[in-house]
A and B are shown apart, each in its own frame.
Chain A
Amino acid sequence: MRKHDVLIVGAGGAGLRAAVAAHESGADVAMVTKLHPVRSHTGAAEGGINAALKEEDDWKDHAYDTVKGSDYIGDQDAIETMTEEAPNEVINLENMGMAFSRDENGRVSQRAFGGLSFPRTTYASDKTGHMLLHTMYEQVMKRGVTVYDEWHVTNIVRDGGKCHGVVAYDIQTGEVEGFAAGATVFATGGMGQVYEHTTNAVSCTGDGMSMAYRAGVPMEDMEFVQFHPTTLPSTGILITEGCRGEGGELYNSKGERFMYEYGYAPNDGELASRDVVSRAELTEVQEGRGFEDDCVHLDLTHFGEEKIEERLAQILELARDFEDVDPVTEPIPVKPGQHYSMGGIACNANGETELPGMYAVGEAACVSVHGANRLGGNALLELVVFGKISGKHAANNHLTNVSTTAVEQAVKDERARIEALMDGTGEHQSEIRADVQEVMTEKVNVFRDEEGLKEALEEIREARERYQDVNVKDSSRTFNTDLTQTLELRSIIDVAEAVTLGALERNESRGAHWRYENQERDDENWLKHTLVYHTEDGPEVEYEDVEIKEYEPKVRSY
């Protein structure tokens, strides 16, 4: 058994920032990740990180933009914390060596992004996440923080109403071991693999959300799933919002800039918030003005090669390599794809969950700062601001009476579960997984209706039945990805069920969640957070008030 004051699960941007903060607070901290830190999906973030750095800008404007973007369901106290801390944290990243793009005066560059009233998205070409991830890992190496890489955490040790650490499976050797910790911080990232068409890595399977849920901590606001308006049709690979921030234009098959022409966003056009643009694109397609494969066109050809190479170099590479399109001379076909989970493990602005000793941060968490729709450039910001806060809080408040007996017992239970899983004789995980991903993409997408959601819920519950006898065909103990994918499939099913149930219950349209039966926002009945709890008899839904401070809900238009 390993033992640490603070254990960080997941080593992307949020986890690494939390580890540095915990280390600086003097705690014995270690990280455990199913990948290696530099493989984490933070590296795929492209556009940038928001902060009111300029004199002409004000963090309160950033706060308001975020509240409006969230369609008024983000918690305003947490949003204020994030936006007020943003300039410090972005400068801190620079001071740690992060290679931001530079303006002529040698200062960090900023550009326009969707839903923002000021060009405050600080960027490093179109590789901001890559630069952030590597900078943070450099800081972890520098401090000599222990990293257990390629250890797949499978369970939270809960005993006497507290969290005592986790159980993890060593991917390289097949050993199951306990990690006792006075504070465990879940920074396990998103859940895009619940969907077929997603910008997310195959490792984004919602493991942390599912483990928390099974340990009695609710998943919050899971129905709010962001569909990014510009993903490549064949692979789901992300084409950054920075393209539109730099002046990229969206066209339908009639050659019209539909965001303006059809009144979807008469003021902001392509730079409306993501939920608005995604719905507009699919409406164009449904009304017969799309291109092949349900796409619209993103045109950058007026930029010239030099500008694209300097500011959007990765987009050139991705469009050429993965879609066989050259953005310098032709428009890029794009369509909405699953991108981000606004929902996650319910926690407060310190990252604390209902379970003492357990924290959540980053995309895995729901603080909630994004509400019903996240603004571009606010995800990387959330990672560093709340990564720091939760890491520090965990270091200063970790439990001292950790029960190693409870950890040992949990290890035994988990070994037995995995042994049993290896004996299954039913269907293979790839079949069940594909069915869940397909039904989610078909029925729990941008446009949702009651009938479709009910059908999806039924199919997800069937998938859970089929999973009872799932067949792991690979019997090896060494790097058994068949087994790890089977473990991940249970997370996918848990998360898919919470998303669909939340969406079915919420009979209104708000941010990224749109319902055919009620296409308007309904503040009277639905200005509240959804909490999905795990029970023996299936999920149970409860609701919680939204924290409203300065900004009263009003009509949202771009």
Chain B
Amino acid sequence: MATTEETQKPDAATATDEETATLEVFRYVPEEDDEPYFETFEIETFEGMTVLDALIKIRDEQDPSLTIRHSCRMARCGSDAVYINGTQRLACNTQVREVGDPVKVEPLPRFDVIRDLVVEMNEFYDRMESVEPWFQPDHEPETGEEYLQSPENRRNIDTVLDCIWCGACTSSCSPAATDSDFPGPAALAKAYRFYKDEREGEETRKRRLEMLESSHGIYRCHTQFNCTEVCPKGISPTEAIMEMSRDAVKEKLRFWR
């Protein structure tokens, strides 16, 4: 399988007028191409056209073999994270006219490419699963009763709850690229979502922190904020990781005191 890092940068295309746009799209079909390459498409644009709209238009009108994962087209399913003019973004909520011309579209860096803009997500899913991302309350609830949670506590996790598993952050993270045992920003933000949820209780909170503190855990973060910059949902995994790291250090100090 090819990775995007093997590809070469093409020459910048000339600027076009307002009604059209040039898309340079990464192409690779494993059974046909020895190497990935870029293909240039000219399309007519319309007000409000997203990069996903543009790719679909190319697929329907010029080349039905152009391949991208997409489903909800409203930044909710997280299928269509790609690399647009050098940044991880969702194709469906990126305006063609706002990213400059030409629009260069590549698969997520540091993910194996299956075909064209479609990448292998299984390693990402494994990272997500590695943090035991399910609710583990200390105590069983009373039958028919909900656990109580203060509105403040719920608000604290509101942003991280919005994660759509698109992989943009993990693609931007250099420690995740070199250490496959490091859960990476999305998984650690998911862990934080449970770590901060007061409904789980103190025992689980401590256990989660111990688990995350292992040699491949939270301290691997270089606090470069790349993940925070690219998150299409405005989540800051970096800050979540930093908070858990501070808490972990505090727990240690308490132990040694």
Contacts and interface: CB of A to CB of B under 8 A. Distances in A.
Verify that A and B bind, or say they do not: yes
Interface of A: 35-36, 38-41, 43-44, 87-88, 91, 94-97, 99-108, 124-125, 127, 130-131, 135, 138-139, 141-142, 172, 201-203, 234-235, 237-238, 310, 313, 317-318, 321-324, 428, 430, 473-474, 476-482
Contacts of B60: 428, 430
Given A104-B151, A476-B115, A91 B75 contact: no
Contacts of B32: 476
Nearest to A99: B161
Contacts, number: 141
A99 B145 contact: no
A99 B190 CA distance: 13
Contacts of A36: 121, 125
Contact of B146 (A44, A91, A125, A202): A91
Interface in B100-159: 114-116, 118, 121, 125, 129, 132-135, 137, 141, 144-151, 154-155, 157-158
Contact of A107 (B73, B146, B165): B146
B78 to A, nearest CB: 7
B76 A97 contact: no
A94 B154 contact: no
Contacts of A43: 72, 76-77, 164
B45 interface: no
Interface in B22-39: 29-32
A181 B165 CA distance: 30
Q: Of residues A100, A477, A479, which shows the largest number of chain B Cβ atoms within 10 Å of its Cβ?
A: A479
A139 B125 CA distance: 15
B3 interface: no
Contact of A103 (B48, B125, B151, B161): B151
Nearest to A434: B60
Contact of B161 (A105, A131, A237, A479): A131
Interface stretch (B62-70, B217-225, B235-243, B244-252): B62-70
Contact of A479 (B67, B71, B157): B67
B159 to A, nearest CB: 9
B156 to A, nearest CB: 11
19 contacts: A35-B77, A38-B77, A39-B79, A40-B77, A91-B145, A97-B134, A102-B151, A104-B151, A107-B148, A124-B161, A127-B162, A142-B134, A172-B114, A237-B73, A428-B64, A476-B32, A476-B65, A479-B116, A480-B67
Nearest 8 interchain pairs by C-beta: A97-B135, A106-B148, A138-B134, A474-B65, A142-B134, A430-B60, A473-B64, A39-B77
B74 A322 contact: yes
A388 to B, nearest CB: 16
A102 B150 contact: yes
A479 B28 CA distance: 11
Nearest to A135: B135
Contact of B134 (A88, A106, A141): A141
